[in-house]
């Protein structure tokens, strides 16, 4: 049995030079995507080839093991990540084909015909609820399509969905990122959740304002800032209070419901600007007369109820599956296998858990989404043939996104297995006390590579705690900063970009979407870095539990 031991500084025994080489796959990926506008799956394939070359020639990893790490990453990309997205989009597709999504859309439109408000309610609040329940790209896929149905242009819909999918991410999928962070750092997940709940709510204050700005610029901010700010404040307060005093896994569920209630209440209490409907981006984005007529048409109350039932079913299924007794029973179907032929050790000679592949067959959010889909078939009276046709259509629609996600995860696993990612993290961790400022950047990098805040926490959580010990900083603060910074890498992750592009019908234009969102990702990241630095010092140290 051949065991590969990682080397942190393989290039000239220098962490700096080694980090420069280790960054080549990521630089390749983002240059090809954002600079050369290459299709995401092609850019990911080229970047994967670069990662394999660096792993073999710079890090001395056997080519066979490097390739095996890539295959494990591709498998992980499909299960559990794509398994969740595919089943979520399948449920959505069934509601479209039965016409109930159109009913749901009209229900949202009747709350407000102002597209700036619609962006807040759908992309931010409803997206947060989907993130709380499923995560892993589901809110981006569903809310972007809902926005298009309300008259938004595809590119703008994708940008709004990605930008909104930030503040809720750390507590997504019933707080899976925070719970994972607790496991890898040996810190209390409740304490970590409380700390994250004192960082991401501050981000949530600004996200609805940014969404309004994306939709309608300065005019939008001037005319709708009270609603945007009120929704952000409601979400922030609820997320903070729930994560600190009630339940970490329920933080996003409560925050999403409170924020949408606040937004609806403020819309009804405040008259529309100028008494007219405001459409995104001017006349070019105005919906057709046929759409306006459909919005104005009254729906039977029973049909409205049935339109909401699939999403209510998803909530019920996920909540029931979180009950301890049910969760333990479902957990018996979990299989853990060692990826064949892949044997890894850290630079310290300790076995790595990366080759351990977990098949949580029944506790996976994807399987639970599948169960919700089967119940949706009954609720909407869809035949087995119709459901299978919808599933086929979903797979065809997502085919390029599926390929991209699997390639990106293969890239991430090769970088992780060879030691490229840990080289970058160790080099940054050598910054001493200033690492408090850099800590969120490390989380951002992990999510940008893997597309998952959970994976980023698995990758860098322990490193953050070790760096905190060397720099005499709070381990809870830096571990939480990894997750809070990671949520901002979500919108620039090729995995999420591919899902967004596929959802809105812009396959091949992932680079265009990236250029629209990266500025907001970096602006928010800079703010998070400053916040963590202040929390590490006397100014805001009182915020650390």
HEC letters along 317-378:
HHHHHCCHHHHHHHHCCEEEEECCCCCEECCCCCECCCCEEEEECCCCHHHHHHHHHHHHHH
Low-confidence spans in the chain with pLDDT less than 50: 274-278, 280-288, 290-292, 295-296
What is the chain's length?
545
Sequence-distant (≥ 6) Cβ neighbours of residue 49 within 8 angstroms = none
pLDDT of amino acid 256: 95
Q: What is the pLDDT of residue 295?
A: 47
Would you state the structure tokens that stand for residue 456, as one six-digit string?
A: 């980023």
Return the HEC string of 439-503.
Answer: HHHHHHHHHHHHCCHHHHHHHHHHHHHHHHHHHCCCHHHHHHHHHHHHCCCHHHCHHHHHHHHHH
Q: What would the DSSP string read from start to end of 513-537?
A: HHHHHHHHHHHHHHHHHHHHHHHTS
Q: Which two tokens stand for residue 347?
A: 């630079």
Look at residue 287 in the predicted model and tell me its pLDDT: 46
Let me know if 29 is exposed, middle or buried by CB neighbors in 10 A (0-12, 13-18, 19+): buried
pLDDT in the model for residue 222: 92
Task: State the pLDDT at residue 284.
Answer: 35
- 228 DSSP assignment: H
Tokens of 278: 């405001």
Q: Please say whether the dihedral angle defined by the alpha carbons of residues 80, 172, 526 and 440, taken in this order, is positive or negative.
A: negative
Which burial class, exposed, middle or buried, applies to 221 when counting CB atoms under 10 A from its CB (0-12, 13-18, 19+)?
middle
Q: Is residue 333 within 8 Å of residue 351, measured between CB atoms?
A: no
Q: Is 505 in a helix, a strand, or coil?
A: coil
Query: Strand 356-360 relative to strand 334-338: parallel, antiparallel, unpaired?
Result: antiparallel
pTM of the model: 0.80
pLDDT for position 271: 61
In 3-state terms, the chain is what percent helix, strand and coil (to 5)?
75, 5, 20
Query: What's the rounded Cα separation, in Å, for the pair 5 and 132?
Result: 38
Amino acid 177: pLDDT: 87
Q: Is 185:462 a contact under the CB 8 Å cutoff?
A: yes
């Amino acid at each position: 049995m051949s065991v590969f031991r990682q080397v942190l500084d393989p290039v000239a025994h220098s962490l700096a030079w080694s980090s420069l080489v280790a960054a080549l796959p990521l630089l390749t990926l983002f240059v090809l995507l954002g600079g050369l506008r290459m299709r995401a799956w092609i850019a990911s394939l080229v970047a994967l080839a670069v990662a394999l070359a660096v792993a073999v020639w710079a890090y001395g990893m056997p080519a066979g093991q490097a390739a095996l790490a890539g295959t494990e990453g591709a498998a992980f990309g499909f299960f559990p990540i794509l398994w969740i997205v595919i089943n979520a989009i399948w449920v959505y597709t069934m509601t479209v084909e039965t016409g109930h999504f159109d009913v749901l859309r009209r229900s949202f439109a009747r709350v407000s015909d102002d597209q700036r408000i619609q962006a807040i309610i759908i992309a931010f609040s409803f997206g947060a609820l989907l993130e709380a329940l499923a995560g892993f790209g589901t809110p981006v896929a569903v809310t972007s399509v809902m926005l298009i149905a309300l008259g938004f242009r595809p590119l703008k819909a994708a940008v709004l969905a990605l930008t909104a999918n930030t503040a809720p991410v750390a507590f997504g999928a019933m707080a899976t990122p925070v719970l994972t962070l607790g496991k890898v750092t040996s810190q209390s997940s409740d304490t970590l959740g409380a700390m994250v709940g004192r960082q991401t709510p501050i981000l949530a204050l600004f996200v609805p304002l940014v969404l309004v700005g994306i939709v309608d610029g300065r005019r939008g901010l001037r005319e709708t800032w009270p609603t945007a700010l009120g929704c952000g404040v409601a979400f922030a307060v609820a997320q903070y209070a729930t994560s600190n005093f009630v339940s970490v896994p329920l933080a996003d569920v409560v925050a999403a419901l409170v924020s949408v209630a606040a937004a609806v209440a403020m819309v009804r209490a405040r008259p529309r600007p100028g008494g007219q409907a405001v459409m995104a981006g001017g006349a070019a984005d105005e919906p057709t007369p046929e759409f306006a007529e459909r919005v104005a048409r009254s729906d039977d109350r029973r049909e409205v109820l049935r339109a909401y039932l699939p999403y209510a079913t998803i909530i019920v299924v996920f909540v029931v599956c979180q009950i301890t007794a049910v969760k333990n029973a479902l957990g018996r179907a979990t299989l853990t296998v060692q990826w064949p032929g892949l044997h890894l050790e850290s630079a310290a000679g300790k076995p790595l858990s990366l080759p351990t592949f977990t098949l949580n067959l029944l506790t996976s959010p994807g399987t639970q989404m599948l169960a919700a889909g089967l119940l949706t078939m009954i609720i909407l009276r869809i035949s087995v043939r119709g459901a299978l046709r919808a599933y086929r259509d979903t797979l065809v629609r997502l085919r390029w996104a599926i390929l991209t996600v699997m390639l990106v995860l293969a890239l991430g696993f090769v970088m992780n297995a060879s030691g490229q990612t840990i080289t970058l993290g160790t080099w940054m961790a050598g910054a001493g006390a200033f690492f408090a400022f850099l800590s969120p950047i490390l989380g951002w990098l992990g999510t940008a590579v893997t597309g998952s805040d959970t994976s980023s926490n698995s990758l860098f959580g322990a490193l953050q705690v070790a760096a905190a010990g060397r720099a005499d900083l709070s381990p809870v603060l830096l571990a939480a900063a990894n997750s809070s910074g990671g949520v901002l890498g979500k919108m620039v992750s090729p995995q999420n970009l591919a899902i967004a592009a596929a959802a809105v019908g812009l396959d091949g234009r992932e680079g265009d979407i990236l250029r629209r969102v990266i500025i907001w990702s970096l602006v928010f990241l800079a703010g998070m870095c400053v916040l963590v630095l202040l929390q590490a010092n006397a100014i805001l140290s009182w915020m650390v539990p």
